[in-house]
Structure 1
Protein backbone atom coordinates (compact mmCIF):
# COMPACT_ATOMS: atom_id res chain seq x y z
CA UNK A 1 0.00 0.00 0.00
CA UNK A 2 1.31 3.44 -0.91
CA UNK A 3 2.51 5.57 1.98
CA UNK A 4 1.47 8.73 0.19
CA UNK A 5 3.79 11.69 -0.37
CA UNK A 6 5.63 13.98 1.97
CA UNK A 7 3.75 16.94 3.40
CA UNK A 8 4.98 20.10 1.70
CA UNK A 9 3.03 22.83 3.56
CA UNK A 10 2.40 23.93 7.12
CA UNK A 11 -1.16 25.26 7.08
CA UNK A 12 -4.32 25.14 4.95
CA UNK A 13 -7.11 27.69 5.09
CA UNK A 14 -10.17 28.92 3.21
CA UNK A 15 -9.96 32.29 1.49
CA UNK A 16 -12.37 34.44 -0.47
CA UNK A 17 -11.68 34.64 -4.20
CA UNK A 18 -13.31 35.72 -7.43
CA UNK A 19 -16.31 33.49 -8.00
CA UNK A 20 -16.21 31.80 -4.61
CA UNK A 21 -13.61 30.53 -2.16
CA UNK A 22 -10.20 28.93 -2.60
CA UNK A 23 -8.23 26.62 -0.35
CA UNK A 24 -4.78 28.03 0.39
CA UNK A 25 -1.74 25.94 1.28
CA UNK A 26 0.70 28.30 2.99
CA UNK A 27 -1.02 31.14 1.17
CA UNK A 28 -0.97 29.57 -2.30
CA UNK A 29 -4.24 28.48 -3.94
CA UNK A 30 -4.75 24.74 -4.28
CA UNK A 31 -4.92 23.63 -7.91
CA UNK A 32 -7.05 20.90 -9.45
CA UNK A 33 -5.38 18.11 -11.48
CA UNK A 34 -6.27 20.05 -14.64
CA UNK A 35 -4.39 23.09 -13.39
CA UNK A 36 -7.25 25.38 -12.31
CA UNK A 37 -7.64 27.00 -8.92
CA UNK A 38 -9.96 24.82 -6.86
CA UNK A 39 -12.98 27.04 -6.22
CA UNK A 40 -15.82 26.28 -3.80
CA UNK A 41 -19.16 28.10 -3.58
CA UNK A 42 -19.06 28.73 0.18
CA UNK A 43 -16.43 29.42 2.81
CA UNK A 44 -17.76 26.50 4.87
CA UNK A 45 -17.13 24.06 1.99
CA UNK A 46 -13.62 25.41 1.41
CA UNK A 47 -12.94 25.21 5.15
CA UNK A 48 -13.89 21.52 5.22
CA UNK A 49 -11.37 20.78 2.50
CA UNK A 50 -8.75 22.85 4.34
CA UNK A 51 -9.49 20.79 7.44
CA UNK A 52 -8.69 17.61 5.47
CA UNK A 53 -5.26 18.98 4.61
CA UNK A 54 -4.60 20.29 8.12
CA UNK A 55 -5.39 16.82 9.49
CA UNK A 56 -2.64 15.19 7.41
CA UNK A 57 0.51 13.98 9.10
CA UNK A 58 4.02 13.93 7.70
CA UNK A 59 2.77 11.80 4.82
CA UNK A 60 -0.23 12.95 2.77
CA UNK A 61 -2.59 10.07 2.03
CA UNK A 62 -5.07 10.42 -0.82
CA UNK A 63 -7.56 8.14 0.94
CA UNK A 64 -7.82 10.72 3.71
CA UNK A 65 -8.83 13.48 1.26
CA UNK A 66 -12.28 12.39 0.02
CA UNK A 67 -13.70 15.91 -0.25
CA UNK A 68 -10.68 17.13 -2.19
CA UNK A 69 -11.10 14.29 -4.66
CA UNK A 70 -14.82 14.98 -4.98
CA UNK A 71 -14.34 18.72 -5.51
CA UNK A 72 -11.59 18.17 -8.07
CA UNK A 73 -13.78 15.72 -9.97
CA UNK A 74 -16.74 18.09 -9.91
CA UNK A 75 -14.69 21.03 -11.18
CA UNK A 76 -12.54 19.24 -13.77
CA UNK A 77 -14.86 16.55 -15.08
CA UNK A 78 -18.52 16.87 -14.17
CA UNK A 79 -19.35 19.65 -16.62
CA UNK A 80 -18.79 17.26 -19.52
CA UNK A 81 -20.17 14.22 -17.70
CA UNK A 82 -23.54 15.44 -16.44
CA UNK A 83 -25.69 13.49 -18.90
CA UNK A 84 -23.69 10.28 -18.43
CA UNK A 85 -23.81 10.68 -14.65
CA UNK A 86 -27.60 11.16 -14.72
CA UNK A 87 -27.90 8.00 -16.82
CA UNK A 88 -25.68 6.16 -14.34
CA UNK A 89 -27.87 7.29 -11.42
CA UNK A 90 -30.94 6.11 -13.30
CA UNK A 91 -29.34 2.67 -13.51
CA UNK A 92 -28.86 2.72 -9.75
CA UNK A 93 -32.58 3.46 -9.39
CA UNK A 94 -33.36 0.56 -11.75
CA UNK A 95 -31.42 -1.86 -9.52
CA UNK A 96 -31.92 -0.01 -6.21
CA UNK A 97 -31.07 -2.16 -3.20
CA UNK A 98 -34.36 -1.13 -1.57
CA UNK A 99 -36.31 -2.80 -4.36
CA UNK A 100 -34.73 -6.25 -4.24
CA UNK A 101 -36.12 -8.27 -1.36
CA UNK A 102 -35.16 -11.60 0.11
CA UNK A 103 -37.56 -14.51 -0.30
CA UNK A 104 -36.84 -15.85 3.19
CA UNK A 105 -36.44 -16.06 6.18
CA UNK A 106 -39.56 -14.32 7.39
CA UNK A 107 -37.85 -12.18 10.02
CA UNK A 108 -35.57 -10.75 7.32
CA UNK A 109 -38.35 -10.15 4.80
CA UNK A 110 -40.43 -8.48 7.50
CA UNK A 111 -37.54 -6.23 8.48
CA UNK A 112 -36.99 -5.24 4.85
CA UNK A 113 -40.67 -4.46 4.39
CA UNK A 114 -40.87 -2.37 7.54
CA UNK A 115 -37.74 -0.33 6.93
CA UNK A 116 -37.31 -0.22 3.17
CA UNK A 117 -40.97 0.44 2.37
CA UNK A 118 -40.79 3.64 4.41
CA UNK A 119 -37.82 4.86 2.35
CA UNK A 120 -39.60 4.05 -0.91
CA UNK A 121 -42.71 5.85 0.31
CA UNK A 122 -40.59 8.93 1.03
CA UNK A 123 -39.22 8.74 -2.52
CA UNK A 124 -42.76 8.57 -3.87
CA UNK A 125 -44.05 11.45 -1.78
CA UNK A 126 -41.03 13.78 -1.82
CA UNK A 127 -39.29 12.98 -5.09
CA UNK A 128 -42.20 11.84 -7.22
CA UNK A 129 -40.38 8.55 -7.81
CA UNK A 130 -42.41 5.35 -7.49
CA UNK A 131 -40.31 2.17 -7.61
CA UNK A 132 -41.50 -1.45 -7.63
CA UNK A 133 -40.17 -4.27 -5.47
CA UNK A 134 -39.24 -7.82 -6.47
CA UNK A 135 -37.97 -10.93 -4.71
CA UNK A 136 -34.77 -12.73 -5.53
CA UNK A 137 -32.80 -11.96 -8.67
CA UNK A 138 -35.73 -10.82 -10.80
CA UNK A 139 -35.56 -7.52 -12.68
CA UNK A 140 -37.79 -4.84 -11.20
CA UNK A 141 -40.35 -3.34 -13.58
CA UNK A 142 -40.36 0.33 -12.61
CA UNK A 143 -42.60 2.95 -14.21
CA UNK A 144 -40.55 4.62 -16.98
CA UNK A 145 -41.69 8.04 -15.81
CA UNK A 146 -40.17 7.39 -12.38
CA UNK A 147 -36.81 6.51 -13.85
CA UNK A 148 -36.96 9.60 -16.02
CA UNK A 149 -37.82 11.59 -12.92
CA UNK A 150 -34.64 10.33 -11.22
CA UNK A 151 -32.64 11.47 -14.23
CA UNK A 152 -34.31 14.88 -14.21
CA UNK A 153 -33.73 15.40 -10.50
CA UNK A 154 -30.07 14.55 -10.94
CA UNK A 155 -29.67 17.08 -13.75
CA UNK A 156 -31.26 19.81 -11.63
CA UNK A 157 -28.26 19.67 -9.28
CA UNK A 158 -25.10 21.72 -9.66
CA UNK A 159 -21.86 19.93 -10.46
CA UNK A 160 -20.73 19.53 -6.85
CA UNK A 161 -24.05 18.18 -5.63
CA UNK A 162 -24.38 15.88 -8.64
CA UNK A 163 -20.91 14.49 -7.97
CA UNK A 164 -21.80 13.97 -4.31
CA UNK A 165 -25.10 12.31 -5.19
CA UNK A 166 -23.39 9.89 -7.58
CA UNK A 167 -20.72 9.04 -5.02
CA UNK A 168 -23.32 8.36 -2.34
CA UNK A 169 -25.34 6.16 -4.71
CA UNK A 170 -22.26 4.12 -5.48
CA UNK A 171 -21.39 3.60 -1.83
CA UNK A 172 -24.93 2.50 -0.95
CA UNK A 173 -26.03 0.91 -4.27
CA UNK A 174 -29.14 3.04 -4.00
CA UNK A 175 -30.28 6.17 -5.80
CA UNK A 176 -33.13 6.62 -3.31
CA UNK A 177 -30.83 6.56 -0.29
CA UNK A 178 -28.39 8.90 -2.03
CA UNK A 179 -31.15 11.47 -2.56
CA UNK A 180 -32.34 10.92 1.02
CA UNK A 181 -28.82 11.54 2.31
CA UNK A 182 -28.18 14.81 0.48
CA UNK A 183 -31.70 16.02 1.32
CA UNK A 184 -31.20 15.11 5.01
CA UNK A 185 -34.14 12.71 5.14
CA UNK A 186 -31.75 10.29 6.80
CA UNK A 187 -28.51 10.76 8.64
CA UNK A 188 -25.50 8.94 7.24
CA UNK A 189 -25.88 6.33 9.99
CA UNK A 190 -29.53 5.76 9.13
CA UNK A 191 -28.98 5.66 5.37
CA UNK A 192 -26.08 3.21 5.57
CA UNK A 193 -27.96 1.01 8.02
CA UNK A 194 -30.75 0.73 5.43
CA UNK A 195 -28.28 0.09 2.61
CA UNK A 196 -26.66 -2.75 4.55
CA UNK A 197 -29.76 -4.13 6.24
CA UNK A 198 -29.40 -7.62 4.77
CA UNK A 199 -25.68 -7.78 5.53
CA UNK A 200 -26.31 -6.73 9.12
CA UNK A 201 -28.99 -9.39 9.42
CA UNK A 202 -26.52 -12.02 8.23
CA UNK A 203 -23.95 -10.75 10.73
CA UNK A 204 -26.49 -11.21 13.51
CA UNK A 205 -26.79 -14.85 12.51
CA UNK A 206 -23.17 -15.71 11.73
CA UNK A 207 -21.00 -13.06 13.34
CA UNK A 208 -19.07 -10.05 12.06
CA UNK A 209 -16.12 -10.43 9.69
CA UNK A 210 -13.29 -8.11 10.75
CA UNK A 211 -12.46 -6.99 7.20
CA UNK A 212 -16.12 -6.29 6.43
CA UNK A 213 -16.51 -4.34 9.66
CA UNK A 214 -13.48 -2.19 8.79
CA UNK A 215 -14.83 -1.53 5.31
CA UNK A 216 -18.25 -0.57 6.72
CA UNK A 217 -16.64 1.84 9.16
CA UNK A 218 -14.67 3.50 6.37
CA UNK A 219 -17.71 3.88 4.12
CA UNK A 220 -19.84 5.23 6.95
CA UNK A 221 -17.17 7.76 7.87
CA UNK A 222 -17.00 8.93 4.27
CA UNK A 223 -20.80 9.19 4.05
CA UNK A 224 -20.85 11.34 7.18
CA UNK A 225 -18.19 13.61 5.74
CA UNK A 226 -20.02 13.79 2.42
CA UNK A 227 -23.35 14.71 4.02
CA UNK A 228 -21.69 17.47 6.05
CA UNK A 229 -20.02 18.78 2.91
CA UNK A 230 -23.29 18.75 0.94
CA UNK A 231 -24.90 20.73 3.76
CA UNK A 232 -22.15 23.33 3.56
CA UNK A 233 -22.74 24.17 -0.10
Structure 2
Protein backbone atom coordinates (compact mmCIF):
# COMPACT_ATOMS: atom_id res chain seq x y z
CA UNK A 1 0.00 0.00 0.00
CA UNK A 2 1.33 3.42 -0.96
CA UNK A 3 1.54 5.99 1.81
CA UNK A 4 1.48 9.73 1.07
CA UNK A 5 4.98 11.09 0.51
CA UNK A 6 6.39 14.16 -1.16
CA UNK A 7 5.73 12.44 -4.48
CA UNK A 8 2.23 11.07 -3.77
CA UNK A 9 -0.30 13.19 -1.89
CA UNK A 10 -3.17 11.94 0.28
CA UNK A 11 -5.81 12.18 -2.50
CA UNK A 12 -3.45 10.45 -4.94
CA UNK A 13 -2.78 7.73 -2.37
CA UNK A 14 -6.55 7.20 -2.09
CA UNK A 15 -6.81 6.80 -5.87
CA UNK A 16 -4.06 4.18 -5.76
CA UNK A 17 -6.03 2.28 -3.09
CA UNK A 18 -9.22 2.51 -5.17
CA UNK A 19 -7.45 1.26 -8.28
CA UNK A 20 -6.08 -1.72 -6.36
CA UNK A 21 -9.64 -2.60 -5.28
CA UNK A 22 -11.40 -1.83 -8.58
CA UNK A 23 -8.75 -2.42 -11.24
CA UNK A 24 -11.09 -3.58 -14.03
CA UNK A 25 -13.33 -0.54 -13.59
CA UNK A 26 -10.39 1.84 -14.01
CA UNK A 27 -9.06 -0.16 -16.96
CA UNK A 28 -12.46 0.14 -18.62
CA UNK A 29 -12.42 3.92 -18.15
CA UNK A 30 -8.92 4.24 -19.61
CA UNK A 31 -9.72 1.99 -22.58
CA UNK A 32 -12.78 4.07 -23.45
CA UNK A 33 -10.78 7.27 -22.96
CA UNK A 34 -7.90 6.08 -25.20
CA UNK A 35 -9.86 6.13 -28.45
CA UNK A 36 -10.61 9.84 -27.93
CA UNK A 37 -7.08 10.69 -26.77
CA UNK A 38 -6.32 14.37 -27.41
CA UNK A 39 -2.96 13.45 -28.92
CA UNK A 40 -4.82 11.81 -31.82
CA UNK A 41 -6.75 14.98 -32.73
CA UNK A 42 -4.21 17.77 -33.21
CA UNK A 43 -4.90 20.48 -35.80
CA UNK A 44 -2.74 20.76 -38.92
CA UNK A 45 -1.85 24.38 -38.24
CA UNK A 46 0.41 23.55 -35.31
CA UNK A 47 4.17 23.90 -35.68
CA UNK A 48 5.56 21.06 -37.83
CA UNK A 49 8.00 20.10 -35.05
CA UNK A 50 5.15 19.65 -32.58
CA UNK A 51 3.22 17.51 -35.04
CA UNK A 52 6.34 15.35 -35.62
CA UNK A 53 6.82 14.98 -31.85
CA UNK A 54 3.16 14.03 -31.42
CA UNK A 55 3.35 11.44 -34.21
CA UNK A 56 6.51 9.99 -32.65
CA UNK A 57 4.79 9.87 -29.24
CA UNK A 58 1.80 8.02 -30.69
CA UNK A 59 4.14 5.56 -32.42
CA UNK A 60 6.15 4.94 -29.23
CA UNK A 61 2.98 4.49 -27.12
CA UNK A 62 1.67 2.05 -29.73
CA UNK A 63 4.88 0.01 -29.48
CA UNK A 64 4.71 -0.11 -25.69
CA UNK A 65 1.03 -1.05 -25.56
CA UNK A 66 0.97 -3.27 -28.68
CA UNK A 67 -1.74 -1.07 -30.21
CA UNK A 68 -2.12 0.74 -33.52
CA UNK A 69 -3.76 4.08 -32.76
CA UNK A 70 -3.58 6.62 -35.59
CA UNK A 71 -3.81 10.40 -35.62
CA UNK A 72 -6.73 11.92 -37.51
CA UNK A 73 -7.78 15.31 -38.83
CA UNK A 74 -11.49 14.69 -38.19
CA UNK A 75 -13.47 14.88 -34.98
CA UNK A 76 -14.96 11.39 -35.12
CA UNK A 77 -13.37 8.29 -33.65
CA UNK A 78 -12.00 6.39 -36.61
CA UNK A 79 -12.58 2.65 -36.92
CA UNK A 80 -8.88 1.82 -36.57
CA UNK A 81 -8.78 3.46 -33.13
CA UNK A 82 -12.04 1.87 -31.96
CA UNK A 83 -10.55 -1.55 -32.76
CA UNK A 84 -7.67 -1.05 -30.30
CA UNK A 85 -9.77 -1.53 -27.14
CA UNK A 86 -8.84 -5.15 -26.40
CA UNK A 87 -5.14 -4.58 -27.01
CA UNK A 88 -5.17 -1.52 -24.76
CA UNK A 89 -7.04 -3.45 -22.06
CA UNK A 90 -4.48 -6.27 -22.25
CA UNK A 91 -1.63 -3.79 -21.84
CA UNK A 92 -3.31 -2.08 -18.88
CA UNK A 93 -4.08 -5.40 -17.14
CA UNK A 94 -0.40 -6.32 -17.01
CA UNK A 95 0.50 -3.12 -15.13
CA UNK A 96 0.88 -3.27 -11.37
CA UNK A 97 -1.38 -1.07 -9.24
CA UNK A 98 1.20 1.70 -8.80
CA UNK A 99 1.87 2.02 -12.54
CA UNK A 100 -1.81 1.86 -13.42
CA UNK A 101 -2.50 4.54 -10.81
CA UNK A 102 0.12 6.94 -12.12
CA UNK A 103 -1.03 6.26 -15.68
CA UNK A 104 -4.63 7.01 -14.64
CA UNK A 105 -3.66 10.21 -12.81
CA UNK A 106 -1.52 11.38 -15.73
CA UNK A 107 -4.08 10.45 -18.39
CA UNK A 108 -6.90 12.28 -16.64
CA UNK A 109 -4.73 15.33 -15.98
CA UNK A 110 -3.37 15.54 -19.55
CA UNK A 111 -6.43 14.12 -21.38
CA UNK A 112 -4.13 11.54 -22.96
CA UNK A 113 -3.76 7.85 -22.17
CA UNK A 114 -0.97 7.62 -24.75
CA UNK A 115 1.08 10.32 -23.01
CA UNK A 116 0.27 8.61 -19.71
CA UNK A 117 1.85 5.42 -21.06
CA UNK A 118 5.03 7.22 -22.15
CA UNK A 119 5.26 8.99 -18.80
CA UNK A 120 4.54 5.94 -16.66
CA UNK A 121 7.02 3.79 -18.57
CA UNK A 122 9.56 6.61 -18.12
CA UNK A 123 10.03 7.05 -21.88
CA UNK A 124 9.06 10.73 -21.73
CA UNK A 125 9.75 13.22 -18.95
CA UNK A 126 7.22 15.36 -17.12
CA UNK A 127 8.27 18.34 -19.22
CA UNK A 128 7.96 16.45 -22.51
CA UNK A 129 4.46 15.12 -21.82
CA UNK A 130 3.34 18.53 -20.55
CA UNK A 131 4.58 20.19 -23.74
CA UNK A 132 2.68 17.75 -25.94
CA UNK A 133 -0.49 17.77 -23.85
CA UNK A 134 -0.63 21.56 -23.84
CA UNK A 135 0.84 22.15 -27.31
CA UNK A 136 -2.22 23.95 -28.70
CA UNK A 137 -2.56 26.14 -25.63
CA UNK A 138 1.14 26.99 -25.57
CA UNK A 139 1.07 27.91 -29.28
CA UNK A 140 -1.91 30.19 -28.69
CA UNK A 141 -0.12 31.84 -25.78
CA UNK A 142 2.82 32.68 -28.04
CA UNK A 143 0.48 34.48 -30.38
CA UNK A 144 -2.08 36.01 -28.02
CA UNK A 145 -0.36 36.17 -24.65
CA UNK A 146 -1.47 34.57 -21.42
CA UNK A 147 -3.34 35.31 -18.24
CA UNK A 148 -2.52 34.59 -14.62
CA UNK A 149 -5.16 31.87 -14.16
CA UNK A 150 -3.85 29.91 -17.15
CA UNK A 151 -0.26 30.14 -15.96
CA UNK A 152 -1.27 29.04 -12.45
CA UNK A 153 -3.19 26.04 -13.82
CA UNK A 154 -0.25 25.04 -16.03
CA UNK A 155 2.19 25.36 -13.12
CA UNK A 156 -0.10 23.18 -10.99
CA UNK A 157 -0.09 20.48 -13.68
CA UNK A 158 3.71 20.69 -13.94
CA UNK A 159 4.05 20.28 -10.15
CA UNK A 160 1.83 17.20 -10.18
CA UNK A 161 3.78 15.67 -13.06
CA UNK A 162 7.08 16.29 -11.27
CA UNK A 163 5.73 14.59 -8.11
CA UNK A 164 4.51 11.61 -10.11
CA UNK A 165 7.81 11.45 -11.99
CA UNK A 166 9.60 11.27 -8.64
CA UNK A 167 7.20 8.54 -7.51
CA UNK A 168 7.92 6.49 -10.65
CA UNK A 169 11.67 6.96 -10.13
CA UNK A 170 11.51 6.01 -6.43
CA UNK A 171 9.36 3.00 -7.28
CA UNK A 172 11.80 1.75 -9.91
CA UNK A 173 14.69 2.09 -7.44
CA UNK A 174 12.84 0.06 -4.82
CA UNK A 175 12.21 -2.71 -7.37
CA UNK A 176 15.95 -3.22 -7.94
Per the normalisation by structure 1, the TM-score is 0.67
Residues 229 and 174 (structure 1), Cα distance of their counterparts in 2 relative to 1, 3 Å cut: same
Structure 2 gaps, min length 5: 172-176
Q: After TM superposition, where is structure 1 displaced by more than 6 Å over at least 4 residues in a row? A: none
**Deviation sequence 1:61-108 (CA, Å, 0-9, x none):** xxxx85322223322x223321111111112211111110214x3xx1
Q: Partner residue of 1:194? A: 132
The structure whose residues are more often strand, as a share, is 1
How far apart are residue 202 of structure 1 and its match? 0.8
Is residue 69 of structure 1 aligned with residue 7 of structure 2?
no
The answer to whether the Cα contact below 8 Å between 1:90 and 1:147 also exists between their aligned partners in 2 is yes
In the alignment of these two chains, the number of paired residues is: 171
Is residue 122 of structure 1 aligned with residue 60 of structure 2?
yes
**Match among 70, 77, 83 for residue 24 of structure 2:** 83
Residues 126 and 212 (structure 1), Cα distance of their counterparts in 2 relative to 1, 3 Å cut: same
C-alpha distance in 2 between matches for 1:227 and 1:67? 13
How far apart are residue 136 of structure 1 and its match? 4.2
The answer to whether the Cα contact below 8 Å between 1:102 and 1:136 also exists between their aligned partners in 2 is no
Q: Partner residue of 1:153? A: 91
The answer to whether the Cα contact below 8 Å between 1:99 and 1:140 also exists between their aligned partners in 2 is no
C-alpha distance in 2 between matches for 1:123 and 1:188? 15
The answer to whether the Cα contact below 8 Å between 2:92 and 2:100 also exists between their aligned partners in 1 is yes
Is residue 231 of structure 1 aligned with residue 176 of structure 2?
no
Structure 1 gaps, min length 5: 1-38, 41-45, 53-64
The answer to whether the Cα contact below 8 Å between 2:58 and 2:69 also exists between their aligned partners in 1 is yes
C-alpha distance in 1 between matches for 2:42 and 2:103? 24
Q: Pick the structure with greater CA Rg.
A: 1
Which structure has more RCO (C-alpha within 8 Å, separation ≥ 6)? Answer: 2
The structure whose residues are more often helix, as a share, is 2
Two-structure CA RMSD over aligned residues (Å): 2.1
